[in-house]
């Protein structure tokens, strides 16, 4: 039995799909799980606490301050004594509460206080699911590390058809099982660099580039999801840190290199940051002023450290070293040259020329280049590309 000994809190919210929760309880118990159920007031309009308690073999929790609770803090004990919080069905209202941190009943308070994995199975009308507010809520919850299964497409209880059906019970049980499965990169340490570097000209101005950091952040999150211990070294970006990832924030190439070396040894390093090739040789101590008719200052540039090459030739070189080649011309030739010069194992090559939309965009089209040749991948979202790359790196490790 895949879930033997696992303790699961099943949170049942108020939707017609609540009737499926009764079968879900039985199936989870068949797999060996201990299931404790929590019902919202709305859920009790669709199924009864007696039915839930009978199938789970456990008392049903439904009050924030239940007199029978030995501590008076059920929202704390429910999370701390269990291995997973499963919300099925998850209504639009409960998803919104989770997103914005509302805590006005036992379900929302327990979810806010949770220190365990959370899996939600959304169920609602198709237009409610498609509404931008719900889509933004779901996206933000995923970004925070909340697992999601469904919704599925099909006939809805309201008589309409579309996305919004709660995932089938078998799919939910499979999703629960995957969360508890041993992760293939457990025990591996991965370093990921992301974003631009800013090289100071004076206290106000800098040399930088257009990198958003989205691809590097997505790669860090994908590696963490496979069980790796991920150290993300981030240049200046406006992105929330991926859940479970340790972030070191830097500005300059020198700072990024120092952070990389301080984190060695590592099993894997993915250098996705767009590191500036040059810096100003002498940074002005005060803002450089201009006056009427004055000529622009002459800036003398110096080469920045080559982070990828330094790691590629270091005594404690990561077992697997991956670089990025963002090019505007001669993509594959430049990528092969970079692979050899930097001493790395794999180059992710992409065209960032005018009109590509890669810098700051949500999609990417890359080639994987190693010493055996090059493989083209289709255009993917940066999240999809990160997942595919993480799986590839896991196999190579």
Q: Kindly list the catalytic residues.
A: 158
Whole-number Å distance between alpha carbons of 92 and 67? 30
């Amino acid at each position: 039995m895949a879930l033997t000994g696992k303790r699961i809190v099943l949170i049942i919210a108020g939707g017609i799909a609540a009737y499926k929760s009764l079968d879900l309880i039985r199936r989870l118990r068949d797999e060996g799980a201990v299931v404790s159920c929590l019902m919202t007031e709305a859920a009790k309009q669709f199924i009864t606490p007696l039915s839930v308690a009978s199938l789970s073999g456990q008392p049903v929790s439904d009050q924030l301050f239940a007199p029978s609770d030995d501590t008076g803090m059920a929202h704390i004990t429910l999370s701390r004594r269990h291995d997973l919080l499963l919300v099925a069905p998850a209504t639009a209202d409960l998803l919104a509460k989770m997103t914005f941190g509302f805590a006005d009943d036992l379900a929302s308070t327990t979810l806010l206080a949770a220190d365990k994995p959370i899996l939600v199975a959304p169920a609602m009308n198709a237009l409610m699911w498609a509404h931008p507010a719900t889509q933004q809520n779901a996206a933000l919850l995923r970004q925070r590390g909340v697992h999601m299964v469904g919704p599925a497409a099909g006939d809805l209880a309201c008589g309409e058809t579309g996305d919004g059906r709660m995932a089938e019970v078998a799919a939910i049980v499979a999703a629960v099982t995957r969360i508890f499965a041993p992760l293939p990169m457990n025990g591996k340490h991965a370093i990921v660099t992301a974003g631009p570097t800013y090289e100071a000209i004076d206290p106000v101005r800098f040399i930088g580039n257009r990198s958003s950091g989205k691809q590097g952040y997505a790669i860090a999150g994908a590696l963490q999801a496979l069980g790796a211990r991920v150290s993300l070294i981030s240049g200046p970006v406006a992105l929330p840190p991926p859940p479970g990832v340790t972030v070191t924030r830097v500005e300059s190439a020198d700072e990024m290199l120092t952070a990389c070396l301080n984190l060695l040894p590592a099993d894997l390093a993915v250098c996705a940051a767009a590191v500036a090739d040059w810096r100003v040789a002498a940074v002005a101590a005060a803002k450089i002023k201009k006056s009427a008719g004055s000529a622009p200052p002459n800036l003398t540039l110096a080469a920045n450290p080559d982070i990828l090459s330094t790691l590629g030739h270091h005594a404690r070189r990561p077992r697997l070293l991956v670089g990025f080649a963002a090019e505007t011309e001669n993509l594959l030739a430049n990528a092969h040259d970079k692979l050899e010069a930097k001493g790395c194992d794999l180059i992710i090559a992409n065209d960032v020329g005018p009109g590509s939309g890669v810098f700051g965009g949500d999609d990417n089209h890359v080639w994987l280049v190693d010493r055996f040749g090059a493989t083209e991948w289709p255009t993917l979202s940066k999240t999809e590309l990160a997942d595919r790359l993480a799986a590839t790196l896991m196999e190579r490790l």
